[in-house]
Amino acid sequence: MILFKRIKFKNFLSSGNTPTEINFAEVPTTLIVGTNGSGKSTMLDALCFVLFNKAFRKIIKNQLINSTNEKECLVEIEFNISDKEYKVIRGIKPNIFEIWIDGVLQNQVAASNDQQKYLEDTILKLNYKSFTQIVILGSASFVPFMQLSAAHRREVVEDLLDIKIFSTMNSILKEKIRNSNEKIKEFTLLEKSTDEKILMQTDFIEELEKRGKENIEKKQNKIQELFDLEVSVSDEIDVMQKKVVSLNSQLEEFSDAAIKLKKLTSLKGKIQQKVISINEEHKFFNENSVCPTCKQSIEEDFRSNKVNEIETNSKDLKEGYVELEKTIEDEEKREEQFIQISREISRLNNEISKDNICISNYRKNIKELQNEIETITEQFENRNIETEKLKSLYKEKEDNFKKKSKYKETVNYFDFAQLLMKDGGVKSKIIQKYIPLMNQQINKYLQMMEFYINFTLDDEFKEQIKSPIHEDFSYESFSEGEKMRINLAILFTWREIARMKNSISTNLLILDEVFDSSLDNTGTDYFTKIIKYVIKDTNVFVISHKTDELIDKFDKIIMFEKVKGFSKIHA
């Protein structure tokens, strides 16, 4: 409960430099009187201004400063909540906004807006709308509960029942749901991109495997081909080498042909020389019977013997020569064979060396291919790295899914919680619980004012009125005085509920000419009785011009007057 103790203001509207001070907690009922314009309603504006930073009436901030002094407009209010003492000071020219708790000035660094929110939400737990429904009612701007919109009626009751928290929770939940949905969206996008990456990586690995296998197979086939070639070429070499061996052994047979031929040729030359000398000797002995040199005669016998002997020799020599020429011819043939075999051997050796070059080329190629296979195999091993990458992508996907599911789960919870926080949820259950009590209270006060109707509010705060005369009446159907009775009954009910709930309960009730125009004498009578005897723990301030009727019904009278253009309380 907020216990308002006192308010003090100066240079506020019609008040001047001398502060006006009103003690709220002094007596239960106070009547405030004064002529028009004496400054009575000013205290309502001062009260609203200091607490909510705006006047009760629609007066803009700058016009709140006293127009004569034009500065140092200041309002101070003191109140207690639980066992804490609060003081709020607000001023214009200079601008001041201070909150003091138990004599300690609260943090001034925070933005003024935050400080105001702190004052309303945390300290007072009361906003302007509820304050002007439950604490101060002024004829100038009081909109009876029954004339508020459905949303405003609900707002006032929610404040009253201290269930605004559900609305706050609802907005917090909304924010959280929005954030979670954003996260879900993020994860969905992430999921999509991970899926794409997985697809690409799978294709890449498949391609790697396919290409790798195909390549290795091709290269292995090529190696096999080269091996086969190598084998066949080696076989050829083998055959040729065997041939060379056999040719070499054949060659041996003819290896002496050249030497022999040389010897025979030289023998042939010698024999030819011999034939010439024998022919000359034959000619000499044939033609000469005297020695041409010593002129001695040659004996005929000797000469004929000699000729015969020479002819026999010549004949032998000729036969030998023919034989020799045949032998030479044979040897020449052998030598020819030797040359041919030698040529064949060197041709074969040539072929062998060519084939060997081929074989070494094949081997070189095979080596190269094997190296290439090794590289591809290495890439294959790299495929394991790629597979690992794929695995980690799947893991990423799973993690995303888990996180997303968690957010989805949270959203589900929040959705459910929000369902409870919504107007139709827990709040409406609480309101439903209080509606019968509210109706009971309203009717109690109506009866106290001898207004015998059956007034009920439904869940949506729509009235249903039954009177002995009229079956189905609405608020608007009643006279102004009757409406005022309903307004007062509702006001008292709200205060009663607030007191019970200890929500927006305060000691203060200010009524500014609320019923002056509409309530008749009996109505006013009932009202004063109610505030005096029924309403508990309240300091009621009634501003009224019905001085004569009311003056003896209040514990204290405060009279405002205007002196030298400034409002003040008559001492």
Ligand X SMILES: Nc1ncnc2c1ncn2[C@@H]1O[C@H](COP(=O)(O)OP(=O)(O)OP(=O)(O)O)[C@@H](O)[C@H]1O
Per CB under 6 A, residues contacting ligand X are: 13-14, 34, 36-42, 63, 66-67, 560, 567
Shortest Cβ distance from residue 63 to ligand X (Å)?
5
**Which of ligand X, Mg ion, none does residue 107 bind (CB under 5 to 8 Å by kind)?**
none
Shorter beta-carbon distance to ligand X: residue 62 or 246: 62
Amino acid of residue 161: L
Q: Which residues pair with 77 in a beta bridge?
A: 7, 88
Contacts of 425 (CB under 8 A, 6+ apart): 166, 419
Residue 538 interaction partner, one of ligand X, Mg ion, none, beta carbon < 5-8 Å per kind? none
Q: How far is the CB of 116 from Mg ion (least distance, A)?
A: 26
- Report in angstroms how near the CB of residue 565 gets to ligand X at its nearest: 8
Per DSSP, the three-state class of 102 is coil
Query: Alpha-carbon distance 331 to 422, whole Å?
Result: 133
* Closer CB to ligand X, 98 or 561, in the complex: 561
Contact 409, 433 (CB under 8 A): no
**473 interacts with, out of Mg ion, ligand X, none, CB within 5 to 8 A per kind:** none
Pair 138, 513: CB distance under 8 Å = yes
Q: How far is the CB of 548 from ligand X (least distance, A)?
A: 16
Nearest distance from residue 17's CB to ligand X, in Å? 12
C-beta of 492 vs 560, nearer to ligand X: 560
Q: Which residue is at the shortest CB distance from Mg ion?
A: 41
Q: In this structure, what DSSP letter does residue 54 have?
A: S
The span of 34-42, 349-357, 479-487, 492-500 binding Mg ion (CB under 5 A) equals 34-42
User: How far is CA 331 from each of CA 136, 180, 283, rounded to the nearest angstrom?
Assistant: 157, 115, 35
Closest listed residue to residue 23, CA positions, set 542, 541, 514: 541
Residue 136 beta carbon to Mg ion: minimum distance, rounded to whole angstroms: 12
Contact 566, 536 (CB under 8 A): no
Question: Is 248 in contact with 345 (CB distance < 8 Å)?
Answer: yes
Choose the stretch contacting Mg ion; rule: CB under 5 A; options: 39-47, 222-230, 360-368, 472-480: 39-47
For Mg ion, which residue of 20, 38, 41, 538 counts as binding (CB under 5 A)? 41
Residue among 383 and 568 whose Cβ is closer to ligand X: 568
Query: How many other CB atoms are there within 10 angstroms of residue 455's CB atom?
Result: 22
DSSP state of 9: E
Least separation, in Å, of the C-beta of 90 and ligand X?
A: 16
Measure the CA–CA gap between 74 and 64, rounded to whole angstroms. 10
- Is 77 or 373 the residue whose CB approaches ligand X more closely? 77
63 binds, among Mg ion, ligand X, none (CB under 5 to 8 A by kind): ligand X
Shorter beta-carbon distance to ligand X: residue 66 or 503: 66
Q: Which listed option, ligand X, Mg ion, none, makes contact with residue 14 (CB within 5 to 8 Å by class)?
A: ligand X
Q: Which is nearer to Mg ion, 14 or 170 (CB)?
A: 14
Binding range to Mg ion, per CB under 5 A, among 35-43, 111-119, 150-158, 238-246: 35-43
Residue 11 binds which of Mg ion, ligand X, none (CB < 5-8 A, kind-dependent): none
d(CA 539, CA 23): 10
What's 73's DSSP letter? E
**Which residues lie below 8 Å from residue 120, measured CB to CB, with a gap of 6+?**
51, 52, 126, 127
- Name the one range near Mg ion by CB under 5 A: 7-15, 37-45, 259-267, 328-336: 37-45
Q: Are 289 and 298 in contact (CB under 8 A)?
A: yes
**For residue 363, is it left (φ>0), alpha (ψ between -120 and 50) or beta?**
alpha
Pick between residue 40 and residue 499 the one whose CB is nearest to Mg ion: 40
- Residue ranges binding Mg ion (CB under 5 A): 40-41
